[in-house]
Structure 1
Amino acid sequence: MKKPVIFLSLLASLIASQSCTNLEEQVLDESFSPSISYADIANGTLAPVYALLPSVFLHTNYFAIQEISTDEAILPYRGGTDWGDNGIYLALHQHTQTSTDPNLKNTWNFILQGISRSVSAINEFQGKTDATSQLYLAESRGMRAYYSMLTLDLFGVVFVKNSVGETSKVIRGAEAVEYIKSELLAVEPNLSTTVGPGRLNKAAAWGLLARLYLNAAVYRNVTAQTVTFSNDDLDKVIEYTDKIINSNQYQLSPDYFSIFNSDNHSNKEIVFAVDQRAELNGHNRLAYFSLSGDQFPLPAFPAANGTDGPAITSDFYRTWVNAYGSQDPSVDPRFYKQNLSIYSNPADSCVTAESFNINRGILRGQQYGLIRKNGVFLKCPDGKMKVGKLYNDTRNRPTTPVIFTEKVDFTVAGSDYSTGYRVEKYEFSKKSSSGRNLGDADIVILRLADVYLMRAEAKLRKSNDAASALADVNTVRASRKAATPPPALTSISLDLLYRERGFEFYWEMLRRTDMIRFGKYEDTWTEKTNTDRNKRIFPIPQTAIDGASNLPGYLVQNPSY
């Protein structure tokens, strides 16, 4: 009799050949030699559970899936030569993706390898009674639940696997929701309150439970025409968000963009994040993905430029314009932060390398920055860095200025290198050894503002408690005191709350999930008219279907793919 394929193990073995990212991990000697303590071995067992998160959150993986599939981001075929990639980004935005999309495959593989590593760690720590093993068991099991939340949200499936030697059970819908819920509830009492944000702690488990309960109605019937929210679920959202807020462990950041600075590991707003500190070999590329090929944020790296990647759509930009009417959206400190004084003082065109910082937020119009000619940055007579208008030198268009326009689409004119307003939310790391890789800004998974806005949404959906919901929203808005905070809202509704989540969390990989929950994912926006509800989840990669082909009926492709 032919031995069945162990599915998760098979996928893990495929990673090396299928991924565009090389993973270099330290292999620890697990023998109890005099030079290696049990603590070393325990740490070496737990670390791989988290080690896949930077690859999951790579700009072309989870970010692309959660953002480019929405009205918030668009990635055209730039100049007819860049980001073509066989049309995968066009298809993702238009909801015509297929099961052979390499970014979907890579994301799936990394998540499932994370589950496999979690199971290995669970098996190692199970049965041990010391405090370290109990804590690490809880973290490993909680991370398996988190990875399972990702597969449920993205692909509509969850794999239940309790030991390395068994074949996973595939579950969907309500059964998958109950499984993830039970796992998080089981580990929560044993999680620490002091680790984090790069490790799963008690508050992170509460936040994930709140997020699960808030989306549970969608997950139970992902293609339903109307999502029916349960009051019991919404009560749980309120319960777990209350726990985080009342713990007083976390604080809303007065400086909005400091949440995304390269030193954000200690930012008190972040509850759970992908640990990207340079000493841990972070791989955060979100900082340069959207910028022009002629924007160079680091004076030390004349080869570290943007990619002319995704821009925000005009549709999303217009939500800001409509909200602020006669005022420019930049009155909201979440929209834009000016760091280059050349905008207000054209004569100030020489800055020290140490003080040069690129502007942050949503970038529009003529761009200014370091000027590179023949591979080197120009300097002023006093040795400072010369800052001025940018031109498309890297595109061999030295007389064409880098002027970001609102218009961006899939036409020839709308796909040029400077079309679309760009986003610079995460800060470039000045500790980087290459300018692009090894960035040390943690990637936010959950932060306190989301906790407040989840609670506001639950209150609105459950009992239309607009007063309490409005208070939560305005608490977040008023907290941004490093600049003039956005004015308080005078009323709240689900549509206004949806808009507010867009303002607060743009480019943070929440948009697709939010759009589905608010009933917006089948809407029409720039270059997207598909209304098929089946597209709320993505196709299971064909390589996964093929890998399980010797187990008939084991892994069924999602409808419409």
Structure 2
Amino acid sequence: MRKNIYVLMLFLGVMLVEGCTDLQEEVLDESLTGNVTNGDVIAGTLAPAYASLSEVFLHTRYFALQEISTDEAILPYRGGTDWGDNNIYIDMHRHTYTPMNAPVTNTWNFISQGITRSVIAVSNVRALQSEGQQVDAYLAEARGLRAYYSMLSLDLFGIVMSKDTLDVRSRVLRGDEAVNYIEQDLLAAEAVLDNTNGPGRITKAAAQGLLARLYLNAPVYRSPYAETHDFRREDMQKVVEYCNKVIEAGNYALSSEFFEIFDDENHTNKELIFAIDQRANLNGNNRMAYFSLSGDQFPLPQFVNANGTDGPGITPEFYHSWVDAYDGADPATKDMRFYKKNLDPAVTCIAAADFELDRGILRGQQYGLQTDRKGTPFKRCGDGANYVVGPLFNNTRGNPTQPVIFTEEVDYTTYSGYSSGYRVLKYEFSKTSDDGRAKGEFDIILLRLADIYMMRAEAKLRMDDAAGALQDVNAVRAARTARIGIPPLEAIDLDIMFRERGFEFYFEMQRRTDMIRFGKYENAWTEKTNSDPLKRLFPIPQTAIDGASEFEGFLEQNDGY
């Protein structure tokens, strides 16, 4: 019910006093109050706006729309029943989603909530400004956050709800008008903010990076169903301009160890530019680490219930993009981004502090803590202190003789069992949370320095500067030196650029946007043959259409639904 209130407020401009004391507003750990006379108003109005991010980016919301709809992730019925959920994830993957699809509706609701709270923040800070308060930076931050939520809405649904004050009805913007609206908010933020705070807040660098992302995707946003998109030189030049600003400021650095970017203590990692601050159980929503793992993978010896959920695997097509890139060689031996080995199968006894699951794309027989079933204590070694480690079996699934062997094959019929599909563990399980399964403490990354280099490379490539593009992509590859390193590319074109983004950003919720921009979203892959370009945009939820029905023509459904 509360979500519907936000949506109606967004549409109709109903006055509502925001009182979100239950959303752990400490998420803004860097002081919001400073020396502002009315600092409590500032903190109380910006914190709820940021808090909506953790709801949008829940694994069954934005992740589902951006990853399960693509060739990177597939989520079948596990064991014939688990994850059935009325076909919502199968429809997502097959592009047969409808206006009643639950992940679509829930994502829309929480983006709408974020926009509404950002509008409240803008309105409240402007009220202080009118009283002579020095709050320019806070207004810029609120506008930057409103722009981010608006860009999510434009990317997914093709519309933006434009609203400056609470006493007017929103305007529905599409195409150029929507792009310009977001641009103005980001430009206002970029002009005023510095890089003092972050990565959990909008900073100057965050605004610059989001401007680059906006200009890079502007051809799609202006004409989402076009057969080919017009990548205007002036847009690509702006991508390069704003990426240059971030890089040349020297405030950020590429990580030498790829998976450290996604560790549970990643808040201070210098590659992060903008992220959802999840430290110290701030929101308690972060489940990205356990989503893909087996139900018999227990990452934390102190939590006997913190196991995986046998969620999405990767498609064979995405896996073979790695294999093909390295001429059939095992990608784990060529590219550190693919896999990091932490468990040695030869070691059968390990201290709790030393136990850590492998990271990256997980294949074949899995090893881990030994237990009879979920909720029972882990087996101890003869010394009574350390833990027994060995090959895993499907104990939690009632099949203790079937090993947990992740297979390349995965589909909705023959290969839909609990162990089908290679899995992904990119983000690390929290080592200190009181519920390692549900309360991850890593920051969810929304923008990082590697994407700045990659966006600049793509923009250069689209302006026929292949040499400059190659240099930027190889700069990212060359930075990853902690283990095996990554060999440089010898040449680049748009297909290789797309492939490289997949290697760098898999399971980071960028794939759908990338596939549309590179003209690949209508392609066929495992269990998906739909080539309808109208599926590039998700349907506006039926609940939203119904909620605005008394205002004829106000909110029109996207084409094809």
TM-score range, shorter chain: over 0.9
Deviations 1:336-393 (A, max 9, x none): 0011122xxx2x1111001111110000000000011251100101120110000000
Matches of 2:245 and 2:262 in 1, distance apart? 25
Q: Which residue of 2 aligns with 1:140?
A: 142
Q: Is the 8 A contact 1:8 1:116 kept in 2?
A: no
Q: Which residue of 1 aligns with 2:417?
A: 416
Write the mapping of 1:109-128 to structure 2, written as runs, cut at 5 A.
Answer: 109-128=109-128
Distance apart, 1:282 and its partner CA: 4.0
Write the mapping of 1:98-113 to structure 2, written as runs, cut at 5 A.
Answer: 98-113=98-113
Instruction: Supply the AA of the counterpart residue of 1:276.
Output: Q
Q: Which residue of 1 aligns with 2:459?
A: 458
Q: Which residue of 1 aligns with 2:30?
A: none
Secondary structure, aligned partner of 1:126: helix
Matches of 1:500 and 1:27 in 2, distance apart? 37
Q: Is the 8 A contact 1:138 1:187 kept in 2?
A: yes
Which runs of no fewer than 5 residues in structure 2 stay unpaired?
A: 14-19, 27-35
Q: Which residue of 1 aligns with 2:382?
A: 381
Secondary structure, aligned partner of 1:415: coil
- Residues 453, 74 of structure 1: CA spacing in aligned structure 2 closer, same or farther, 3 A cutoff? same
2:500 is equivalent to residue 494 of structure 1: no
Instruction: Supply the AA of the counterpart residue of 2:423.
Output: R
Instruction: Supply the AA of the counterpart residue of 2:437.
Output: R
Distance apart, 1:327 and its partner CA: 2.1
* Match 1:298 to one of 293, 297, 300: 300
* Match 1:176 to one of 178, 185, 194: 178
Secondary structure, aligned partner of 2:555: coil
Write the mapping of 1:199-278 to structure 2, written as runs, cut at 5 A.
Answer: 199-278=201-280
Q: Which residue of 1 aligns with 2:54?
A: 54
Secondary structure, aligned partner of 2:415: helix
Q: Is the 8 A contact 1:155 1:539 kept in 2?
A: yes
Distance apart, 1:164 and its partner CA: 1.2
Matches of 2:538 and 2:513 in 1, distance apart? 12
Matches of 1:145 and 1:338 in 2, distance apart? 40
Q: Which residue of 1 aligns with 2:477?
A: 477
Q: Is the 8 A contact 2:287 2:440 kept in 1?
A: yes
Matches of 1:209 and 1:200 in 2, distance apart? 12
Q: Which residue of 2 aligns with 1:350?
A: 349
Q: Which residue of 2 aligns with 1:31?
A: none
2:532 is equivalent to residue 529 of structure 1: no
Q: Is the 8 A contact 2:100 2:541 kept in 1?
A: yes
Distance apart, 1:193 and its partner CA: 1.4
- Residues 6, 449 of structure 1: CA spacing in aligned structure 2 closer, same or farther, 3 A cutoff? closer
Q: Which residue of 2 aligns with 1:366?
A: 365
Instruction: Supply the AA of the counterpart residue of 2:187.
Output: L
Aligned-residue CA RMSD (Å): 2.0
Matches of 1:474 and 1:195 in 2, distance apart? 30
Aligned residues: 537
Which piece of structure 1 moves more, 185-194 or 48-57? 185-194
Q: Which residue of 2 aligns with 1:322?
A: 324
Secondary structure, aligned partner of 2:400: strand
Q: Is the 8 A contact 2:10 2:170 kept in 1?
A: no
Distance apart, 1:104 and its partner CA: 0.8
Q: Which residue of 2 aligns with 1:432?
A: 433
Matches of 2:89 and 2:125 in 1, distance apart? 42
Q: Which residue of 2 aligns with 1:188?
A: 190
Matches of 1:27 and 1:288 in 2, distance apart? 25
Which runs of no fewer than 5 residues in structure 1 stay unpaired?
A: 14-21, 29-35
Secondary structure, aligned partner of 2:388: strand
Q: Is the 8 A contact 1:6 1:167 kept in 2?
A: no
2:392 is equivalent to residue 390 of structure 1: yes
Q: Is the 8 A contact 2:24 2:283 kept in 1?
A: no
Q: Which residue of 2 aligns with 1:157?
A: 159
Deviations 1:386-437 (A, max 9, x none): 10000000111000000000000111x2110000000000000011111212
Secondary structure, aligned partner of 2:445: strand
Q: Which residue of 2 aligns with 1:167?
A: 169
Give the structure-2-normalised TM-score: 0.93
Distance apart, 1:10 and its partner CA: 6.7
Give the structure-1-normalised TM-score: 0.93
Which piece of structure 1 moves more, 421-430 or 269-278? 269-278
- Residues 359, 112 of structure 1: CA spacing in aligned structure 2 closer, same or farther, 3 A cutoff? same
Matches of 1:196 and 1:27 in 2, distance apart? 16
Matches of 2:396 and 2:21 in 1, distance apart? 30
2:15 is equivalent to residue 24 of structure 1: no
Percentage of matched positions with identical amino acids: 60
